[in-house]
Amino acid sequence: MSRAATSESMTPIRYEPFWWDGVARTTIPELALPREIDVAVVGAGYTGLSTALTLARAGRSVVVFEAEEPGTGASSRNQGQIGAVFKRSFSEATATYGREKAVAIYREGRIAVEFLKSFIEREQIACSFVRSGRFVAAYRPEHYEALAHELEILKREIGFNADMVPKAEQAREIGSPGYFGGQVRHDDATLHSAQYHVGLLDRVRASGAGIAGFTPVTALVRDGAGFIVRTKRGEVRARNVMLATNGQTGPFAPWFRRRVIPMGAYGIATAKLAPEIVRRVLPTGRVVHDTRKLIHGIRLSPDKTRLIFGGRASMTEADPRATAPRLYTMMVETFPDLAGVDITHSWMGYIAFTFSRLPHTGVHDGIHFAMGYCGSGIALATYLGHKSALKILGEADSGTPFDDLPFETRPFYTGTPWFAPPALAYYHFKDNWPKPRAA
Ligand SMILES: Cc1cc2nc3c(=O)[nH]c(=O)nc-3n(C[C@H](O)[C@H](O)[C@H](O)COP(=O)(O)OP(=O)(O)OC[C@H]3O[C@@H](n4cnc5c(N)ncnc54)[C@H](O)[C@@H]3O)c2cc1C
């Protein structure tokens, strides 16, 4: 096992997100639950907070119910890579839903990114938002060809702002021998996930919405035109309910639980690196993801001194002690220059995949929802949370192309992804066999 993941390590590893360092959580006093409200929002991540903000500013009485301390879910654990990275390619979406729908979905992704940027500017949320761009690194020569082919179509159909970078010029983007060129997406961006969450939470509190932390919802029961929201701390009557639980959707919402696939996502942060290593590893400071089935996500810390490395180190493991050495090995395989560096943090969180590999939003059985971002939810959660609020308000411009996508499940799937370990093994095999010839 690597030095960095053993007791020989110079720096003790903290088993919580790098993003929580130095970010003061807002202390929220316990909320006395009201008897009746307009809207109950379940989940205090980006989706739920965005919904709550729009509703409260429109004069609705709102409570956000959160099972844990607000700010401990995926929304403060993520890498902060902003884009609309759909796991269903444009060509696949065209084949399934038709060209018009595929164009609408991909356009909406770009709209969500621009919405997030304007929102952060308008609200003056200090969260290190930078229009960094993204480098999509091709793990195999045929992946480079596929990226180039898809880009031609996306430029024609939605004016996608990206360019291919051949292998011969790749060193200007990434100091890794393991890739075969890639694609620069100019409009993508980056932020500090926990700072953004705290900023959003503060705006929601200032808007007058109630935040009920440590208040898990245990049941949503229809009651005439509204709902009884049962929680571990009592019941509240709400005219509308918004479900914003994404990868942590529990048994209290069985229809939804059968439609999202919770998966662990993992990250490590290195200790501060020498400036010349930073310049060699990620010279432009763009965020990076690669084209493996088990994707690697890579970026620099906002102060550009550390590398943050993420990957699918497991499908089932919840202990970041176990995944730290695996991620370390993956990082050094990608960047041999980093052999021997210390890591300071290792953490994980839950994302939500869907069977369509696209996000879903809409209303089911009277319950509004937005979820299933498939690991790329910062922009879409903020945007679709806002759109859900507009639906609750009955506004005309509340529609999105994700509203009417069939939200599929599978026979015998009840919310525990028993198929995940064999799927991981299969994807691991697909990524590694045959080994890409030396790049
Ligand atoms: C390690 C990691 C890296 C990631 N990297 C990126 C990235 O670089 N770019 C990107 O765009 N996305 C990334 N993501 C995904 C992104 O973080 C999510 O898509 C986004 O945060 C989803 O927001 P959300 O509000 O829908 O869900 P969450 O932030 O997960 O919030 C859901 C909340 O619901 C609460 N909840 C669940 N059940 C109940 C209940 N019964 N009662 C009350 N509350 C409940 C949970 O406690 C949780 O706080 C990453 C995620 C992880 C974990």
As given in the structure block, the two tokens for residue 265 are: 């996502």
* 210 has a pLDDT exceeding 60: yes
> Residue 419's pLDDT is what?
85
Is 198 within a domain? yes
Residue 439 binned pLDDT confidence (cut-offs 50, 70, 90): low
Question: Rounded to an integer, what distance in angstroms lies between the CA atom of residue 27 and that of residue 151?
Answer: 46
* Pairwise CA distance, residues 219 & 229, whole Å: 6
Q: How does pLDDT run across 148-186, given as a tens digit for each residue?
A: 999 999 999 999 999 999 999 999 999 999 999 999 999
If you average pLDDT over residues 210-217, what whole number do you get?
98
Atom of ligand 1 nearest to the CA of 287: 8
Instruction: Return the pLDDT at 438.
Output: 56
Question: Which residue of 246, 290, 309, 323 sits with most ligand 1 atoms within 8 Å of its CB, as the best mutation to test the pocket?
Answer: 246
Ligand 1 atom 35, closest CA: 43
d(CA 289, CA 429): 19
Q: How far is the CA of 73 from the centre of ligand 1 (A)?
A: 5
CA distance 164 to 151: 8
pLDDT(432) > 90: no
Asked if residue 268 belongs to a domain, the reply is yes
Give residue 437's pLDDT band: very low, low, confident or very high (50, 70, 90).
low
Average pLDDT of span 273-293: 96
H/E/C letters for each residue in 238-252? EEEEEECCHHHCCCC
CA distance 20 to 192: 10
| Section 2-30 average pLDDT | 77
Q: Give the H or E element holding residue 137.
A: strand 134-137
What is the CA(262)–ligand 1 centre distance, in A?
Answer: 10
In a domain, 438, yes or no: no
Q: State the pLDDT confidence band at 304, using cuts at 50, 70 and 90.
A: very high
Tell me the pLDDT of the chain averaged across its residues: 94
For residue 45, the CA-to-ligand 1 centroid distance in Å is: 6
CA separation for the pair 395, 42 (Å, rounded): 21
- In the predicted structure, residue 207 carries a pLDDT above the cut 90: yes
Q: Which helix (H) or strand (E) holds 200?
A: helix 193-206
At 142, is the secondary structure helix, strand, or coil? Answer: helix
Cβ(128)–Cβ(421) under 8 Å? no
| pLDDT band for position 11 (cuts 50, 70, 90) | low
* pLDDT at position 254 over 70: yes
- Ligand 1 centre and the CA of 278: distance in Å? 29
Distance 369 CA to ligand 1 centre (A): 14
Atom index in ligand 1 nearest the CA of residue 45 equals: 25
Q: Closest ligand 1 atom to the C-alpha of 80?
A: 8
Residue 303 burial (CB count, 10 A): 8
Take atom 25 of ligand 1 and give the residue whose Cα is closest.
45
Residue count of the chain: 439
The model's pLDDT over 335-379, given as tens digits with 9 standing for 90+, comes to 999 999 999 999 999 999 999 999 999 999 999 999 999 999 999
The predicted pLDDT at position 309 comes to 98
Which atom of ligand 1 is closest in space to residue 47's alpha carbon?
Answer: 25
What pairs with residue 364 in β-bridges? 367
Pocket test for ligand 1, best of 33, 190, 200, 248 (most atoms within 8 A of CB): 248
Q: Is the pLDDT of residue 409 over 70?
A: yes
Per-residue pLDDT averaged across 230-250, rounded? 98
Residue 133 lies inside a defined structural domain of this protein: yes
Does position 398 have pLDDT exceeding 60, yes or no?
yes
Rounded mean pLDDT of 282-292? 97
CB 70 within 8 A of CB 211: yes
Query: What pLDDT was estimated at residue 3?
Result: 45
Task: Specify the amino acid at residue 3.
Answer: R
384 CA → ligand 1 middle, Å: 14
Instruction: Identify the CA nearest to 329 among candidates 350, 314, 348.
Output: 314
CA separation for the pair 175, 281 (Å, rounded) = 4
Q: Which atom of ligand 1 is nearest to the CA of 370?
A: 26
> What is the distance between the alpha carbons of residues 394 and 164, in angstroms, rounded to a whole number?
43
Count of structural domains, the chain: 1
Q: Would you say residue 96 lies in a domain? A: yes
What's the pLDDT tens digit per position in 102-157? 999 999 999 999 999 999 999 999 999 999 999 999 999 999 999 999 999 999 99
Q: Is 418 exposed, middle or buried (0-12, 13-18, 19+ CB in 10 A)?
A: exposed
The tokens for 255 are 């229809």
**What mean pLDDT is predicted for residues 384-399?**
98
pLDDT recorded at residue 204: 98
Decide: 75 and 343 in contact? Cβ < 8 Å. no
Given a cut of 70, whether residue 74 has pLDDT beyond it is yes
Q: Give the orientation angle of helix 378-393 with respect to helix 46-57, to 10 degrees.
A: 40
Residue nearest to atom 50 of ligand 1 (CA): 78
How high is the pLDDT of residue 430? 84
Ligand 1, from 78, 260, 348, 402: best to mutate by most atoms within 8 Å of Cβ? 78
- Best mutation site among 79, 134, 236 for ligand 1 pocket (most ligand atoms within 8 Å of CB): 79
What pLDDT, on a 0 to 100 scale, did the predictor assign at position 5? 39
Atom of ligand 1 nearest to the CA of 266: 1
CATH number for the domain that contains residue 326: 3.50.50.60
pLDDT of residue 6: 37
DSSP class of 31: P
Ligand 1 environment, Cβ below 6 A: 42-48, 65-68, 73-75, 77-81, 216-217, 244-248, 250, 252, 265, 267, 297, 310, 349, 351, 371, 373, 375-378, 381
- Residues of the chain above pLDDT 90, percent: 88
pLDDT reported for residue 76: 97
State the sign of the Cα–Cα–Cα–Cα dihedral 132, 373, 402, 62. Answer: negative
Q: What mean pLDDT comes out for the span 278-283?
A: 97
Residue 195 has pLDDT above 60, yes or no: yes
| Residues 65, 231: Cα–Cα separation, whole Å | 8
What domain range includes position 75? Answer: 3-408+417-432
Q: Write the single-letter amino acid at 418.
A: W
Give the atom of ligand 1 at the shortest distance from the alpha carbon of 267.
1
